[in-house]
């Protein structure tokens, strides 16, 4: 799906691309001898990479560059385009003393590009494919600001020099820019890395390693509640739970084709020598699929067992590049909400429809609404990376398309987004910045059953191969918890909140009543804590609010003498006094029913 920001024919794209050109011009005019990288449009503006040599550039220089950009825009220069063949283009880049442009021309020439375009406005010229607006006049009403500076390796490779990247925000109107800045501020306040630290959900230690998450007690409660719910759901939907090792012999991933197709994302192997001196290579598993296929093939199967649904919260390991690691969103160790369904082909549409019902039930429980469906298929290019016969791919893509259409589910097609073994339905959720993230998947796989010789005896006694459905409705613990932290702003529904109830005594006179009530709640499996600190009453309330605890029970002499509690809920000003028994009953009902949103308590 192409957005206006990435559609080269749109005015917004041309606006941002032209502004990147103007920023490069401003920097070149201010810093003699600067070497230019490249500067494409982005979802919210543009950036440009520069080699400033020994010049020290910091955030304070952004205002200086922005002022120069506005000076340039006050001139009425036109953007003009010239095209040159490779040798001429190299000569021109050399005359401009722009070595990074020369490198890019040689690279693209080696890939078959024969003509190279240069854009000029006034005295400034830059190698650029365009497109641009006609002149500065088209840019004067643009709303932009230089945003931040970061480092970026040339061509994205850690082997190359680190350049200085300047990011800018750019919209057609001031209202759009202001709206984005306000949206970003809200997103920053809810950023899962920020809240994860404040709410003591997770930490990442350099001693352990980048991308390796240490779940703190609060975070462990959250992930265990999610897992408990998923297991209950899978039990109702007829799944069998399995468990598999974290490592395996190299042979398994050669057979599954993960090594030839996925090796860059796998940790390097470890070599183990047995007592006989035979050396074998073992890999940390990047996914659970091949193990489940071996469990299926551990004995003969009958059509009566199918669909056979095998589920596992399996921990997997992927060697993500260090620059791509980000909190819980991109990690190197993850626990997957994974399952594989071995299904006769004639029942595929029925099984996928059942999965869609299951997914909808998950989303309703978590209160998730802002999502779309993407049918991820092969791309027209690089078809060699997609394993299996074209006929099987055609069948699989048609099955998924037909299921979505039959359920009247709107979807868009993502070319080239398929897994190497089959097409998939990706359920895309928008984060607080409006960017799409894949939370759930349903994948159809005709390739692995052939590769692993998976069979079953049909009703007529024939030997047939099942089709595999790979499904993950709740992504990984890491990605899903990061998504929930930001969606809820850290204020989790009471059923999954680390601390569900905070008891706040007004005075020491009610201490015994509070202690007994805490014990009663814990006996009922409620995560309750009492605040017997020396803090003032108001500070105890503020602390509970800061930690986004769903329910505070305020206990004074009146409540203790009448066997009652005063209930104060997160985000709601009004308090309510209930009998202790009524409170416990309503609380247990909300937790058991997994009601979404603390505002639903009490009923």
Structure confidence by residue, pLDDT tens digits, 13-52: 999 999 999 999 999 999 989 999 998 999 899 999 999 9
Same-domain check for residues 437 and 568: no
The reported pLDDT for the residue numbered 322 is: 79
The reported pLDDT for the residue numbered 63 is: 92
Residue 256 lies in a domain: no
pLDDT digits (tens, 9 = 90+) for 555-577: 999 999 999 999 999 989 899 99
The reported pLDDT for the residue numbered 382 is: 66
Please, are residues 417 and 426 in contact by the beta-carbon 8 Å criterion? yes
Cβ–Cβ contacts within 10 Å for residue 261, how many? 16
> What one-character DSSP code corresponds to residue 570?
T
Which residues of the chain have a pLDDT value below 50? Answer: 1, 598-603
Residue 252 lies in a domain: no
Same-domain check for residues 179 and 34: yes
Counting runs of H as helices and runs of E as strands, what totals does the chain give? Answer: 18, 27
Single residue among 454, 484, 514 that ends a domain in this structure: 484
Same-domain check for residues 437 and 311: yes
Q: Return d(Cα 12, Cα 177) in angstroms, integer.
A: 13
> What one-character DSSP code corresponds to residue 461?
S
Q: What is the dihedral of CA 318, 397, 238, 337, to 10 degrees?
A: 20
The reported pLDDT for the residue numbered 399 is: 85
DSSP 309-377: EEEEEEEEE----GGG-BTTTB-SEEEEEEEEEEE-GGGHHHHHHHHHHHHHHHHHHHT---EEEEEEE
Q: Return d(Cα 536, Cα 247) in angstroms, integer.
A: 53
Q: Which residues contact 58 (CB under 8 A, 6 or more apart)?
A: 149
Residue 595 lies in a domain: yes
Residue 251 lies in a domain: no
End-to-end CA distance of the chain: 42
Whether cis (ω within 30° of 0) applies to the bond prior to 602 is yes
Task: Return the CATH number at 47.
Answer: 3.30.980.10
Strands (E) located in 344-476: 371-377, 411-415, 424-430, 436-445, 456-457, 463-464, 467-472
Same-domain check for residues 471 and 544: no
Same-domain check for residues 302 and 170: no
Residue count (the chain)? 603
The reported pLDDT for the residue numbered 5 is: 58
- Kindly provide the b/e burial profile for residues 144-162, where b requires at least 16 CB atoms within 10 angstroms of the residue's own CB: bebbebeebebbeeeeeee
Residue 214 lies in a domain: no
Same-domain check for residues 163 and 103: yes
Residue 277 lies in a domain: no
Same-domain check for residues 477 and 519: no
Same-domain check for residues 161 and 292: no
CA 288 → CA 79, 125, 308, 349, 419, distances in Å?
54, 53, 16, 24, 15
Q: Which residues contact 21 (CB under 8 A, 6 or more apart)?
A: 39, 79, 119, 121, 124, 126, 128, 132
Please, are residues 61 and 68 in contact by the beta-carbon 8 Å criterion? no
Q: Return d(Cα 498, Cα 254) in angstroms, integer.
A: 42
Q: What is the dihedral of CA 509, 510, 515, 518, to 10 degrees?
A: -160
Same-domain check for residues 441 and 521: no
Main-chain dihedrals φ then ψ at residue 137, nearest 5 degrees? -55, -35
Please, are residues 272 and 279 in contact by the beta-carbon 8 Å criterion? yes
Q: Look-up: residue for tokens 């265990």?
A: 224
Same-domain check for residues 409 and 538: no
Task: Return the CATH number at 516.
Answer: 3.40.50.800
Task: Return the CATH number at 300.
Answer: 3.30.930.10
Domain range for 79: 11-189
Single residue among 440, 458, 484 that ends a domain in this structure: 484
Single residue among 449, 484, 519 that ends a domain in this structure: 484
Same-domain check for residues 127 and 234: no
Q: Return d(Cα 445, Cα 421) in angstroms, integer.
A: 6
Same-domain check for residues 384 and 445: yes
Residue 325 lies in a domain: yes
What is the tally of structural domains in the chain? 3
The reported pLDDT for the residue numbered 34 is: 93
């Amino acid at each position: 799906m192409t957005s206006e920001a990435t559609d080269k024919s749109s005015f917004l794209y041309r606006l941002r691309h032209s502004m990147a050109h103007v920023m490069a011009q401003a920097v070149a005019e201010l810093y003699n001898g600067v070497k230019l990288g490249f500067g494409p449009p982005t979802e919210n503006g543009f950036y440009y990479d520069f080699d400033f040599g020994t010049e020290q550039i910091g955030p304070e220089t952004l205002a200086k560059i922005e002022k120069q950009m506005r000076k340039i825009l006050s001139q009425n220069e036109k953007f003009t385009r010239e095209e040159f063949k490779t040798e001429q283009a190299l000569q021109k880049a050399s005359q401009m003393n722009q070595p990074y442009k020369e490198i890019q021309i040689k690279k693209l020439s080696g890939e078959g590009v024969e003509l190279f375009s240069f854009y000029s406005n006034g005295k400034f010229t830059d190698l650029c494919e365009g497109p641009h607006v006609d002149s500065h006049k088209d840019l004067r009403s643009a709303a932009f600001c230089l945003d931040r500076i970061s480092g970026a390796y040339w061509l994205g490779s850690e082997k190359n020099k680190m350049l200085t990247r300047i990011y800018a925000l750019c919209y057609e109107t001031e209202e759009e820019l202001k709206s984005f800045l306000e949206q970003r501020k809200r997103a920053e306040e809810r950023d899962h890395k920020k809240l994860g630290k404040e709410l003591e959900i997770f930490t990442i230690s350099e001693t352990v390693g980048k991308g390796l998450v240490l779940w703190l007690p609060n975070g462990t409660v959250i992930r265990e509640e999610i897992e408990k719910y998923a297991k209950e759901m899978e039990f109702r939907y007829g799944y069998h739970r399995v468990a598999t090792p974290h490592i395996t012999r190299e042979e398994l991933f050669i057979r599954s084709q993960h090594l030839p197709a996925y090796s860059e994302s796998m940790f390097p192997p470890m070599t183990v020598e047995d007592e006989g001196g035979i050396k074998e290579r073992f890999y940390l598993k990047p996914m659970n699929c091949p193990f489940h296929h071996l469990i299926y093939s551990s004995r003969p199967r009958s059509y009566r067992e199918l669909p056979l649904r095998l589920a596992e919260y399996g921990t997997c390991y992927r060697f993500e590049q260090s620059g791509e690691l980000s909190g819980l969103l991109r990690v190197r160790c993850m626990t997957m909400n994974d399952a594989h369904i071995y299904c006769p082909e004639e029942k595929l549409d029925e099984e996928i429809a059942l999965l869609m019902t299951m997914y909808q039930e998950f989303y309703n429980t978590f209160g998730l609404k802002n999502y779309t469906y993407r049918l991820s298929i092969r791309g027209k290019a690089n078809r060699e990376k997609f394993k299996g016969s074209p006929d099987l791919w055609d069948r699989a893509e048609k099955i998924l398309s037909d299921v979505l259409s039959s359920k009247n589910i709107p979807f868009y097609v993502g070319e080239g987004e398929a897994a190497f073994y089959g097409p998939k339905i990706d359920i895309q959720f928008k984060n607080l910045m409006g960017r799409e993230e894949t939370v759930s998947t349903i994948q159809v796989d005709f390739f692995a059953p052939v590769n692993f010789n998976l069979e079953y005896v049909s009703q007529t006694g024939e030997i047939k191969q099942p089709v595999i459905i790979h499904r993950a409705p709740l992504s990984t613990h890491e990605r899903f918890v990061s998504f929930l932290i930001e969606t809820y702003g850290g204020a989790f529904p009471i059923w999954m909140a680390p601390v569900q109830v905070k008891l706040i005594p007004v005075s020491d006179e009610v201490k015994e009543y509070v202690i007994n009530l805490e014990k009663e709640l814990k006996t009922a499996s409620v995560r309750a804590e009492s605040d017997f600190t020396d803090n003032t009453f108001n500070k105890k309330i503020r602390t509970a609010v800061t930690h986004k605890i769903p329910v505070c029970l305020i206990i004074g002499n009146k409540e203790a003498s009448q066997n009652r509690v005063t209930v104060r809920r997160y985000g709601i000003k009004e308090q309510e006094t209930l009998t202790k028994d009524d409170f416990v009953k309503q609380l247990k009902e909300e937790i058991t029913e997994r009601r979404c949103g603390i505002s639903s308590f009490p009923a």
